[in-house]
Structure 1
Amino acid sequence: MDEIIQESGTWLQNNQALLIEYAVNIGAAVLILFFGFIAAGMISNGFGKVLKAKNLDKTIVDFVSGLVRYGVLAFVIIAALGRVGVQTASFVAVIGAAGLAIGLALQGSLSNFASGVLLILFRPFKAGDYVEIAGAAGSVDSIQIFSTVLTTPDNKVVVAPNAAVLGGNIINYSKMPTRRIDMVVGVSYNADLKQTQEVLTRIVKADERVLKDPAPTIEVVALADSSVNFVVRPWVKTADYWDVYFALHKAIKIGLDEASIEIPFPQMDVHVNKVA
């Protein structure tokens, strides 16, 4: 036991300089990592502020800031490994080979990343737009590296993979400055069609938010089983769409009731034959 202790003491004495060097390098690597992570956040935030100052879209700001952050972190990790004696050139080569293998295994994630880049470049929508993508509808919160985040009208958060977003139909309800409201109003077959059209036209034009150009369309569209159907298609500013949509439904019901125009509902006549 004494010999082991003596040999250990001798080894420590002979390798004191080497141990100090390793300790200094490890301490320096830890400091590089610590301050590197802080610097990555600061640089990323700095880029974000510069881009915001140029009035760029929030989706672009978030995406570029994320790329800068991860790029700085990769540089910091390589620098820390080089400090502890890891051959960075070989390490980069190993990372490249590993990256190829990982890339083959994570084709879906890489597809999401590439789709995110394309969404940023072509910008089919921006933050704040109300869109329908990947089977979900909501306001765009952000386009991240691998996914797009939506907030639904009932305040749910939807995270859609970018590949699914780009691979399907993208319906942007906020892109154009105006939208057309499509409504179908059914009236009884006994109703005076000319009077009904006049009542509907008066109700639509009474709302100041309805645009005069293009003019609203109010015409008979179908002779249905239980009703004569009118299409009511006014144009409004996109921001006014839902307010006018709800208001017209209420106003049309009240207006038709006041004009004694019946709005029928599906019904069935049953005839009973008495058998002697």
Structure 2
Amino acid sequence: MSDRSMRRGFLAFAFIFATLSPLAEVQPALALTAVGVGPQYDTTHVYVAPSDVDVFVASFLATFGGTSTKQVVTTVTPTPSSTTSQLLQTPAGKISLFGFTTPIPYPFGSERTGYLVTDMDKAVAAARSAGADVIVAPFPDPIGRDAVVQWPGGVNMQLYWHTTVPNYPALETVPENRVYVSSDRPTAFVRDFVAFSHGKVVSDERHAPGIEIGRSQEIFRRIRIESVFGRMTVLVTDGHLPFPYGLETTGYETTNLKDTLDKARASGAKVLVEPYASDGRNAAMVQFPGGYIAEIHDIVAR
């Protein structure tokens, strides 16, 4: 065999080996620009009917504490629209709240989070290089610029940049972005997002207890990622999910789940799934006025 043939054979073997390697060993393949800022600048995007905005704000803040910025009426899309907008700031995470008074332009409402970036053009270039589709090209908003990207598996996220650099204190507890993907896409999603975020896979459990997705007699695959953008839990399923699993986009950590659920109930929220124990945490599912569903958990002392 010639040297050239041997080199080709080695490269082919290396490629096959790399595609089969565990996710925990996946490393960014490209030297992408780091554009993240910190988890205290991540926001969960919540859309409710205008009539539910005030009652949602009251319930969410009563549950987690914190404050809201002044409500404004503005346009947050690149095409004509109108919405109320405000930022809820709690020790357990932030929410960008929208109450659209006009039809919501596509694809807004499907983006789960907003991530602050240091430079919009560099962030979009890095996302593209990592494998994301830019489904809404950068556009100006009243206080900066935005774009929406889509990762393998159909996971939409918004990137944002502010003209005036924000300065928020660190969170008391960092929430997790809860991402549901099919069994066809976890490798591509994790590889691409880890490359973009300069993050790392901290666990890849292929036999996670099914109680975490409402299927207590089964197992599923759960991947946890950490990066400058915060925490992410990737839930790999066949899509056969009982309500309300798959509808929550964020998991909020509290110091005492029982106390938090008591506050949620007293403020008008519904506990859809009563507390259960799994993976060193107690967790429950809650629906706030206006329909927003969240996972809430505390960590069991070890």
Greater relative contact order structure (CA < 8 Å, 6+ sep): 2
Instruction: Pick the structure with more strand per residue.
Output: 2
Length-normalised TM-score, structure 2: 0.21
Instruction: Pick the structure with more helix per residue.
Output: 1
Length-normalised TM-score, structure 1: 0.22
